[in-house]
Structure 1
Amino acid sequence: MRLTQWGAALTGAAALLLTACTVVDLDEFGKPIMPADPNAKASFDNKTPQQIAQQTWQPRILDVARNHALDASALTTQLNAPAAKPQSVFVRLTGKVERVDASNEREQKLVMTVNGQPVEIQSGPVMRGNAIRDAAGFRFDEFTNQVQYAQLSRALNREAVKHLPKIDDSWSGKDATVLFAATLNAGKAVDATALELKQETP
């Protein structure tokens, strides 16, 4: 083999080796910083929790809730046979509003009865808990960090309030239909958070 051929062969081999290698940055301890798996990349990069709540409200919250909400019977079954760990679900109830708790103007609730037990359903303007986020199946690995994930709960609760009517004592004793998210824990429905709320026509 002539020298020029050897040179060409060596150059080609070196190029191939360089192509196959990936330059990896090192951290402060000299260990390689592995690039993130693009398939595991957060879905909501560069979005605020408020933007995520608005973007997902219809397809991921309301549509899923309307199609998969438990009724009173299914909710009772789950409350009577509680899971080992808390779980959040969507529920639709139609029945009498036993009372309205407006003792705290910023955290009003209406109370309905399921299986003889009162269920307090938050209607705002301030609502607490992670029930909406968790019932919708948002996963931590979809988010940039823990802060964004935690703040989404508050953003979803605020989004819910935008779509709810104002309630007062006049709702007491009236029939209503409520679509809500709740966390089932130790046989109780806690942090119930209204998504839709309407009085039924007598």
Structure 2
Amino acid sequence: MTTTVPTGRRRLPARWIAAAAIALLIVAMAVSTEYRTVESARAAAPKAFDPAAYGAQNYQAKVVPAIRSAAVELPTLLKAATEDKEAAGQKYGKRQGTGPYTFAVKATGEAGKARSGLLPVTVEGLPDGTRVSLQIGPAINGTALRDAAGFITFGQFTNQVEYADAATALNNEMRAKLLNGLDVAALDGKEITFTGAFTLLTPQTVTITPVEIS
């Protein structure tokens, strides 16, 4: 009787190997998967931008000091802007991209009678024909406070909507902190000193968003 001796190991079918690999992969995925409750998933999600909170956190603590620190005398600025608008912007202003420059300014002048949300102020030493007004609400328009602060950039926000909402929030905070307690009618004919910001479109018409009026 002849005995046959195996000459090699028996090879497993390819489908068995594939099935085993899939099983190992499933086990590995199960081990590495982190299961979260609905509450923990919500807590880990990025928080939505809160304009009111942004204004409250940044206006008084950061924006007002930044504008106060950078403020240039209004006659000095407008004289420079009349001579060379671009040079004045580069020296005194702030901007992002190629938009108009925004300036932090201060001045003393005689307040007039408020109308249509603006308080006219006569400031000595300005170029002839210059009209200066302070925004006194109720509507506060523009992005001057955001842009003149110097530390707020578009890249800090998710999109253009949030960037715009930040400017509106700062305006709202200014109105609450400064204008709501201001007796505007009593300022008519009085000398006032103010600090604020404006975006330069033309040196002849200056509409300032104030942060201080005294």
Q: Which TM-score bucket, shorter chain as reference?
A: 0.5 to 0.7
Q: What is aligned with 1:70?
A: 72
Q: CA deviation at 1:93?
A: 0.9
1:166 maps to 2:182? yes
For 2:67, the aligned partner's letter is: A
Instruction: Say if 1:186 and 1:45 are closer, same or farther in 2 by CA, change over 3 A.
Output: farther
Q: CA deviation at 1:52?
A: 1.2
Identity of aligned residues (%): 29
Q: What is aligned with 2:50?
A: 48
SS at 1:124 equivalent: coil
Matched residues, number:
151
Instruction: For structure 1, list consecutive stretches of 5 or more residues without a partner in the other structure.
Output: 1-43
The structure number with the bigger radius of gyration is 2
| Bigger share in helix | 2
Contact 1:82 1:185 in 2 (8 A): no
Q: CA deviation at 1:185?
A: 1.8
Q: What do the CA deviations read for 1:52-79 (whole angstroms, capped 9, x no partner)?
A: 1111113431111111101133222333
SS at 2:72 equivalent: coil
TM-score normalised by structure 1 residue count: 0.66
Cα-Cα RMSD: 2.3
| Bigger share in strand | 1
Contact 1:111 1:120 in 2 (8 A): yes
Show the 5 A alignment for 1:99-114. Answer: 99-102=112-115, 104=116, 107-113=117-123, 114=126
Instruction: Say if 1:56 and 1:78 are closer, same or farther in 2 by CA, change over 3 A.
Output: farther
1:135 maps to 2:140? no
SS at 1:100 equivalent: coil
Quote the Cα distance in structure 2 between the aligned partners of 1:191 and 1:101.
13
Q: What is aligned with 1:183?
A: 199
For 2:194, the aligned partner's letter is: V
Q: CA deviation at 1:188?
A: 4.2
Q: Could you tell me which of 152, 155, 158 is aligned with 1:144? A: 158
